[in-house]
Homo-oligomer: A and B are copies of this chain.
Amino acid sequence: MGETEQKEKSHKEKRKEYTYNKLKGLGLEIIEDIEKNKVPSVKVPSRGTGNIIYDDTKRYYVLGDRYGRRSLGNVKQIRKLGQMVYVANFCKDLVAREKTATIREMYYVSEGWGISFKTQQESNIVGEDLEVTLGTTREDLGLMPEEDGASVYGDINLIDEGTEINATKMGKSGYTISPTIDQVDLRECNVDKVLAVETMGMFHRLVQENAHKRFNCLIVGLKGQAARATRRFLKRINEEKGLPVYICNDGDPWGFHIAQVIISGSAKLAHVNEDLATPDAKFIGVTASDIINYDLPTDKLKDVDVMRLKELSKDPRYKSDFWQTEIKKMLKIGKKAEQQSFSKYGLEYVVDTYFPAKFEEMENQA
């Protein structure tokens, strides 16, 4: 137990210390300016589209070098800088007390501040400004998104809230990734891969068919577009445990992109992709080739699907031969298929036949 507690402290405490010092540093910078009789100003990296760059080596979007200055010497910026200092102070208090608040709660709390926000949109932006200025994630600052992350089922031990838990002993719906996933320690993990699927329907199918035992994997139910906490979890498990991550979604542009955001991050969150993107994660289906090879039940592509596929084909994250081929093929057949459509061949087919074939294919590639 002694070792347990010490290790737990290490991940959580490391991040806490780092964030606290960053916040303190911001305040000290302003105080220094004042003491030197300089007009206080803060350097804020630009998040404009011109400063969002796809990094070929890192294989995700990053921010470039451009930045702006928020100065108290500029009448237009006084309000913004004031708000930023208030938010930073609020966050410093959260971090010190090991508390969190939703961005909605912060918006309401700000009613009591000297410089409050007109809309939540405004307070969200200041939160993001702070994130990018300090180079921390919003979650590290104690500002939580509303929604929980994915469901996890399989033989992994975690320490959450001081309790060691195993994700096969939490009921059929498994462990829910909470927004505060960086306060959790990943421990013993008796699996050799992670299988993330788009729908909870497929998640429950996999649990029911004992896929976690048959494939020696963690099953992750993404619930559509992956929450930040889910992406952080997948990143950490890939890095800390060295496990390969496989993603299986619906065979349509939206399923493709749910996988891609996990793999290469989003442009909008370029400043935190380093913490969120898992460039080694692999999309294993449903591909356009799967639709043909498995003769799956399909729906016709809608105009909006076709438009989206064309957009994706020009996106730097989709420039590999694999993606280019699959996007072209889908446009050619004009059809899409859901991951649950494998049940055409019976409920067990996806676990008995499809996934084994896919994993073999992956191993042969590696």
Q: Which residue of the partner chain, among B104, B109, B170, B200, contacts A147 with CB atoms under 8 Å?
A: B200
For residue A289, CB closer than 8 A to chain B, the reply is: no
Question: Does more than half of chain A's interface fall in helix, strand or loop, or is it mixed?
Answer: mixed
For residue A179, CB closer than 8 A to chain B, the reply is: yes
| Cα-based distance from A184 to B170 in the complex (angstroms) | 12
Give every chain B residue within 8 A of A208 (Cβ-Cβ): 99-100
Interface 1/0 per residue, A213-252 and B, CB below 8 Å: 0000000000000000000000000000000000000000
We find that the number of chain A residues with CB closer than 8 angstroms to chain B is 51
Query: A85 → chain B, closest Cβ, in Å?
Result: 19
| Contact indicator A146/B200 (Cβ below 8 Å) | yes
| Contact indicator B165/A108 (Cβ below 8 Å) | no
Give every chain B residue within 8 A of A343 (Cβ-Cβ): 101, 105-106, 108-109
The CB with the most chain B CB atoms within 10 A, among A144, A174, A200, A208, is that of A200
| Contact indicator B174/A176 (Cβ below 8 Å) | yes
Query: A330 → chain B, closest Cβ, in Å?
Result: 19
**Chain A interfacial positions (CB closer than 8 Å to B):** 99-102, 104-106, 108-109, 111-112, 144, 146-148, 151, 158, 160-161, 163, 165, 169-180, 183-184, 199-201, 204-205, 208, 297, 338, 340-347
Listed from nearest, the 8 A-B pairs whose CB atoms lie closest are A160-B171, A173-B176, A102-B201, A173-B178, A108-B343, A172-B178, A105-B343, A163-B169
